[in-house]
């Protein structure tokens, strides 16, 4: 298996943006623009409040819907939280887990990312698990150590069959929302390292089958070069996913990538 046989996935992470009418308008616009795309999986990960609207707006289309987080318990006294089962029951297909903003602002740890990933898989969701180093860690030359540790911990106890249902997003924290994109070579280097780590843990065949995305200031102008790299199988896009035309350009770049 190689890049040509792996699933290219372009996912938008809307973060805390869009009211329901705004969400509907964006998806209606996007729907028409990407209707003829067949070789790229298109995903919109939206705030919980937009899920029902998003699912209705994209029904019968080639746009899949994801959430931006889920809790690891099945139910119970966890005020303000949403379980994986609640998402699956709605028809949600993907869920972003371990995003650096969750790690940074909401005390998310590798242990809870691991628990959330297991809960999402048990509910039948496809987790998009985010890993990435801080600027300070890159400057100290420990990017590979940081990533290796995250991969080991976030996927601890997850079988090869379950791993194949996961997507990994390499998001260098210093590149998120900063306009500072990793160069295509930097993205390739770490995505290849992630695949090598997976090969050590799960064997080469499993590692070769996993979709690894790049995320961090990916936009209409730089997407083509990033997704042309051997180990970059798509993108997790924040800001540029909020504009239908820009998001479509990125999707089209992945079609040719």
Residues engaged in binding ligand 13P (CB under 6 A): 13, 99, 171, 176-177, 215-218, 236-240
Residues in the chain: 257
Query: Of 68, 101, 171, 188, which residue is the catalytic one?
Result: 171
Least distance to ligand 13P from the beta carbon of 74, Å?
Answer: 26
Active-site residue (options: 99, 101, 133, 137): 99
1 with 210: CB under 8 angstroms?
A: no
Phi, psi of 102, deg, nearest 5: -70, -40
CB of 204 to ligand 13P, least distance (A): 28
CA distance 18 to 13: 11
Nearer to ligand 13P by Cβ, of 41 and 171: the residue is: 171
In terms of CB distance, is 47 or 215 closer to ligand 13P? 215
Cβ closer to ligand 13P: 117 or 217?
217
* Rg value, the chain, Cα: 17
Nearer to ligand 13P, 120 or 206 (CB): 120
Residue nearest to ligand 13P (CB): 238
| Closest approach of ligand 13P to the CB of residue 65, in Å | 16
* H/E run at residue 13: strand 8-13
171 an active-site residue? yes
Q: Which of 55, 63, 13, 56 is nearest to 38 (CA)?
A: 63
Q: CA 201, CA 151: separation in Å to the nearest integer? A: 10
**Known catalytic residue: 99?**
yes
Point out the residues that are catalytic.
99, 171
């Amino acid at each position: 298996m190689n890049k040509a046989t792996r699933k290219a996935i372009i996912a938008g992470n809307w973060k805390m943006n869009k009211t329901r009418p705004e969400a509907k308008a964006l998806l209606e616009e996007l729907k028409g623009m990407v209707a003829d795309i067949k070789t790229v999986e298109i995903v919109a990960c939206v705030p919980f409040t937009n899920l029902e609207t998003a699912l209705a707006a994209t029904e019968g289309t080639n746009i899949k819907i994801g959430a931006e987080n889920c809790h690891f318990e099945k139910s119970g006294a966890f005020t303000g939280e949403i379980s994986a089962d609640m998402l699956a029951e709605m028809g949600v297909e993907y869920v972003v887990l371990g995003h650096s903003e969750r790690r940074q602002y909401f005390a998310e740890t590798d242990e809870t990312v691991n628990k959330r990933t297991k809960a999402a898989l048990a509910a039948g969701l496809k987790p998009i698990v985010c890993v990435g180093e801080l600027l300070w860690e890159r400057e100290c030359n420990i990017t590979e150590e940081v990533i290796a540790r995250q991969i080991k911990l976030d996927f601890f106890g997850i079988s090869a069959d379950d791993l194949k249902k996961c997507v990994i997003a390499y998001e260098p924290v210093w590149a998120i929302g900063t306009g500072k994109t990793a160069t295509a070579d930097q993205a390739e280097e770490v995505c290849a390292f992630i695949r090598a780590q997976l090969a050590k843990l799960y064997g080469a065949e499993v590692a070769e089958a996993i979709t690894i995305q790049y995320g961090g200031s990916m936009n209409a102008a730089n997407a083509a070069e990033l997704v042309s790299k051997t180990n970059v199988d798509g993108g997790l896009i924040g800001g540029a996913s909020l504009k239908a035309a820009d998001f479509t350009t990125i999707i089209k770049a992945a079609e040719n990538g």
